[in-house]
Structure 1
């Protein structure tokens, strides 16, 4: 790297889109090339985050929509300050499953709290940190539900929401990507994991090449 900081990569998309698989494949590819990688997730990337994750995803009682958004923002603020920023400052590549775009999609659109309000909350919580690259794995919610059913695991609070909720979430993810094409890489998640990994690797390599030429890399602050 030419500027002494790492690379921040996030993976977004609906539940069942394959974010965990692609995160693992990208980590393996980067480590094979000598990169230091920190792989994490939201919510739940820290000890505090694990507690918040249990509340927002597994609490059996009702959680007010605004309270849910605030809990995600609290997790994000702690996670960025204590794990992500220090890793980036060390020059690591941070691969993260979900970030602020998930809050905009799930709470802003899914819970109908509003895109701008939820985004501003997250930007305040993280002091404006945006990823260098956001990979959006786009998958029809019906196909995603079939994948989740095949896993034969209990649904969490968001996975269990009605189809209209997930339709709103998908539409918002696509709208976010259209608004920031320089930051997003949108991929059809129905394709094979190997093909998706190849496309992601190509985009990440292009970011490194741009950095080594002294250019800018994506949207991180």
Structure 2
């Protein structure tokens, strides 16, 4: 792999904090050229954008993306540029995120290829096979997104309450509830109805009813 000393960089489409132009790449006879006037600076900028910790990691990721960009048994420069751009937008922060985001963009490209094949296939049996592949790829991408979110959130999975019923006189907590949060119940009756407090024994209820009858008679 070589580095081309030509002036060419990609400006961000929209301004956002901390964004810096990073070098573009060019394919020449199955070699990846990083287009920047300073070879070391170009590798450093692209490595920071892709979450690569050193030169070996950067070139390894680029080679893997190049193989995943193949169209008709030939690496496609536009496809590779798209994949690198998507990795930049996700902004991997460490080696794990760099590998995961590389897999994500590769799975996305494969998913869209399957979608294209499905659109151009008229044979029913072929459609079923391609549809199964497309479904698996889409599920894999969703699982990768969840893995990335969990990694960035230190593994905490929030609990979302979709339906909540509160009786008159009761109160509820509005906001996100996580596994570390404590449950607060304002009214004992609401907790009992929700199954949070086990119902009292039948004998206890009959004893309370008898005591209430005696109090009324007195």
TM-score bucket of the superposed structures, by smaller chain = under 0.3
| Structure 1 length-normalised TM | 0.24
The structure whose residues are more often strand, as a share, is: 1
| Structure 2 length-normalised TM | 0.24
